[in-house]
Structures are given as structure tokens and as C-alpha cells.
Amino acid sequence: MHQPLGERLFQQASEFLTKFHAETETDGLSDRLVVVRDEINATGTYIHSDAELLHGVRLAWRNSNRCIGRLFWKSLTVRDKRSITDPGQVARALEEHLSWATNEGRIRPCITVFPPMGVNGKVPVRIWNKQLIRYAGQMQPDGTCVGDPAQVSFTEQCKQRGWKGEGSAFDILPWLISGADGIPKMYEFPRSLVLEVRLSHPDHPWFDGLGLRWHAVPFISDMVLEIGGILYPAAPFNGWYMSTEIGARNLGDASRYDLLPVIAQQMGLDIKAKGVLWKDRALVVLNEAVIYSFDRDGAMLTDHHAASDQFLKFIRNEENAGRDVMADWAWIVPPMASSSTGVFHRGFDNEVRTPNFFYNHDAWIPRQSTKGCPFHVDSLHSGH
Ligand code: ARG
């Protein structure tokens, strides 16, 4: 069914504004709807008030079906940078975000919101990095990868623009930020803004020798925030880590740092023998190291058992508030000790609600057809 664009936008706006006014017990919904309708008629779009933006980003977190950490959705802080369009100023705002959110390890969930997409589909600001802090991945002539294989394609973009790095397994990537012209500028940001945790194990002295580390805070920077029909293509956000994200997935996945065989061998396990469960045991040691080291350095982190309990509490809170929780089971259930966590033993509805965060195509790859994927921002444009 086709509707004039403004009609559709007004519908999305009024759905969001109705929710905003109800949940925050704010008066004046009908006046606000009149203003927004006039604004859309005159300009083709509308501008969120500060309070709408704040509640909107919190709802986007609350609606993130794949996130187990949603108990804390009300603590999300917004940094409003909707008036910034110059990539250099964007970089400075990102530096402030890093520093404020990291808070020497007492991590504060935070989102910086840059200008929304224009009526003509123009993107005023885009951050090309998938996360603000990531380690480069560089393919070697022998086909192996130094660093994070998940970053090879982005690393290539940086190298094309003159970035070199030291060639270690943990070289922090620079930022690529484009303004309205779509041409990225490269920024190296101060190392001092990056809190990293060197990994050691309380019982295994050899663990130090592996030289492993990880950055303390995940800052997702390539998703599109949608609130009431308005798209924000640059809205980087952070929470804190769950230990398995680092210890099971980033360092353990065969397609990432692939360290389980290395650790198992250090443990003296026979990785050829059957029934040794060497992967399982290596996973435990790696995760113990992550938890121990973050703790030692005062960097906030949750383990998967606590996170599962917190998520179940989130569901109870939501139900008490008269809302049902949508979730993606395969993402919520932790990648180790799954059946020992509460979230394993139940199902979830996985309907996608807005406000929310959506995937975007990589900025350096022409738009792929992702029609039909409800988590992908392109599906927002396909007019259903
Ligand atoms: N899994 C991603 C990573 O390892 C981070 C995703 C967001 N995680 C979070 N705890 N907020 O970097």
C-alpha cells in the first residue's frame, strides 16, 4: 500500500509521540501532534525535542531484541550533537564520548546523536568504523591474519588512505568519518582515551606470555537509530561488556582470534584426542582470565550468569509495567554454559519494534539488497 511520504512519517511520529507522552507522563500530546503535522507539511520532516530524543534512545535500547543488558535501559545518557556536521568536530565529540563513558572503568552507558538523515535521503554524517575502538586485521602473504579478521575490510580502507599501524595483533584503528559529501576523513585519536585490559590468569602464569588484551568498552558506531520515523545514521553508543563477548567470541571464535587451540596446548591438553573437551576447558580458562583481569583493573564487566539473571529481571519489570518483551533467543542465550542460564529455558517473541537500532550497509560497499531482513535499515525504506 502506498501512502504519501509525509503521511507515513506523521503516522510513525504520532505513534512514537503517543508512547513518549504516556510513558513519561508529559502533557500536551495533542498540541505537539499539531505542531509536528505542520512541521512535516512545511519541511517534509520534524525535529525531536530534547526530552523526546532522550526517551527515544532509551526505547531504542529497550527494543533491541538481541541485547541481554537491557535491564539498564533507563540509565542511557544522550549527548545531543545534532547540530554538528563537520567531520573534525564529529571526531572531537567522539573523543569526549570515549572519555566520559569510559570514566576510568566505571563505565557509563551513553549515546552521541549526530544529525538525522535529510528529507532527500542525504546522510549528513557517517562513521565508517563498526566500533569506535577496534583492532586492525591485516592479511599476510601466507594467508594468515594478524589481528582481528573481522576488521580486514575496514583496515583495508584505512590503509588505502595512508594508515600503517605497527603490525601487532592489537593495533587500534583510526576513525573514518564522512560529512555530507560522503568522502571520509581519517582521524587518529589519543591512545590515552582507550582503556585496555591486559589479560592474565590468576592460576596460570603462562597466560601473560600470550600477550592478550582487549579494550574495556564496546562503542557500536555503524548502526542506524530510528525514532518516530526519523533516521539517525550516526549515533554511536556504548554499554559495558559481558565477559563471553571477549572470552568466548572475540578471542575464541575460529573466525576471529581463534585462541582455543593455543590455550588448550598451553594447558597441556591433547587437542587431537576425543572426549577431552579441550575447547570447553580452554573457554573456561580464557573467560576466567577476562573476568579476573577486568576486575583487577577496575573495568566494569558482567559475566553471563549475572547477565542472564538481569535479563529475566528486565522481563519481570517490563511485565509489571504492562509491556511484553521481544527477544532473539539465539543472541540472548550466552555462548557458553548456555543451559545453566535461565534464559536458555524459555522462548521469546522476536517481533521488531521501533524505536530501535538497525544495521546499515558498510559505508565503503555500495548498498546491498537486504530486503526482507527486519534488522536491516534498508527494509525501512522498502515501503511496507
Ligand atoms: N559483541 C561486541 C564486541 O565484542 C559488542 C556488542 C555490544 N556489547 C555490549 N556489551 N554492549 O565488541
- How high is the mean pLDDT of the chain? 96
**Quick one: which atom of ligand 1 is closest to the CA of 134?**
12
The active-site residue out of 32, 58, 62, 70 is 70
Select from 262, 235, 255, 246 the least CA-distant residue to 149.
Answer: 255
pLDDT bracket for residue 2 (50, 70, 90) = low
**Residue 1 pLDDT:** 54
Q: How confident is the model at residue 50 (pLDDT cuts 50, 70, 90)?
A: very high
Nearest of 122, 117, 160, 110 to residue 138 by alpha carbon: 160
Q: What are phi and psi of 142, to 5 degrees?
A: -85, 5
Residue whose CA is closest, atom 6 of ligand 1? 218
Q: How many CB atoms lie within 10 A of CB 236?
A: 26
- Among residues 367, 52, 7, the alpha carbon closest in space to that of 228 is found at 52
Output the CA angle 41-5-12, nearest 5 degrees: 85
Residue 378 scores a pLDDT above 90:
no
> Does the beta carbon of 250 lie inside 6 Å of ligand 1?
yes
pLDDT (tens digit per residue) in 4-31 = 889 999 999 999 999 999 999 999 999 9
Cell 538523515 found at: 117
What was the pLDDT predicted at 371?
61
Q: Which atom of ligand 1 is nearest to the CA of 245?
A: 4
Task: List the one residue out of 273, 281, 240 whose CA is nearest residue 69.
Answer: 240
Q: Which of the four pLDDT bands, split at 50, 70 and 90, describes residue 381?
A: very low
Catalytic residue among 32, 67, 79, 214: 67
* 200 pLDDT higher than 90: yes
Contact 28, 82 (CB under 8 A): no
pLDDT of residue 19: 98
Residues in the chain: 384
pLDDT of residue 150: 98
Percentage of the residues of the chain whose pLDDT score is greater than 70 = 96
165-174, 232-241, 361-370: range with lowest mean pLDDT = 361-370
Residue 379 has pLDDT above 70, yes or no: no
User: pLDDT at position 367, please?
Assistant: 76
Instruction: Tell me the per-residue pLDDT of 301-311, one tens digit each, with 9 for 90 and over.
Output: 999 999 999 99
The alpha carbon of 24 and the centre of ligand 1 are apart by a number of angstroms equal to: 29
Residue 84 has pLDDT above 50, yes or no: yes
User: Quick check: bond before 355 cis, omega within 30?
Assistant: yes
Task: Quote the CA–CA distance of 189 and 369 in Å, as a whole number.
Answer: 34
Higher pLDDT, 381 or 124: 124
Res. 373 pLDDT band, cuts 50 70 90? low
Output the pLDDT for position 101.
Answer: 99
The response to whether residue 245 sits with its C-beta less than 6 Å from ligand 1 reads: yes
Is residue 240 among the annotated active site residues?
yes
* Res 383 pLDDT > 50: no
Mean pLDDT of 144-166: 98
Residue 84 near residue 93 (C-beta atoms within 8 A): yes
Tell me, yes or no, if 95 is annotated catalytic: no
- Residue whose Cα lies nearest atom 10 of ligand 1: it is 241
Confidence of residue 384 (pLDDT cuts 50, 70, 90): very low
Q: What percent of the chain has pLDDT over 90?
A: 94
Instruction: For residue range 328-345, list pLDDT tens digits in order.
Output: 999 999 999 999 999 999
How much is the average pLDDT of 38-61? 98
- For ligand 1, whether the C-beta of 179 sits within 6 Å is no
Mean pLDDT of 343-360: 98
pLDDT higher than threshold 50 for residue 361: yes
Residue-level pLDDT at 284: 98
Q: HEC string of the chain?
A: CCCCHHHHHHHHHHHHHHHHHHHCCCCCHHHHHHHHHHHHHHHCCCCCCHHHHHHHHHHHHHCCCCCCCHHHHHHCEEEECCCCCCHHHHHHHHHHHHHHHHHHHCCCCEEEECCCCCCCCCCCCEECCCECCCECEEECCCCCEEECHHHHHHHHHHHHCCCCCCCCCCCECCEEEECCCCCEEEECCCHHHCCEEECCCCCCHHHHHHCCEEECCCEECCCEEEECCEEECCCCEECCEEHHHHHHHHCCCCCCCCCHHHHHHHCCCCCCCCCCCHHHHHHHHHHHHHHHHHHHCCCCEECHHHHHHHHHHHHHHHHHCCCCCECCHHHHCCCCCHHHCHHHHCCCECCCCCCEEEECCCCCCCCCCCCCCCCEHHHHCCCC
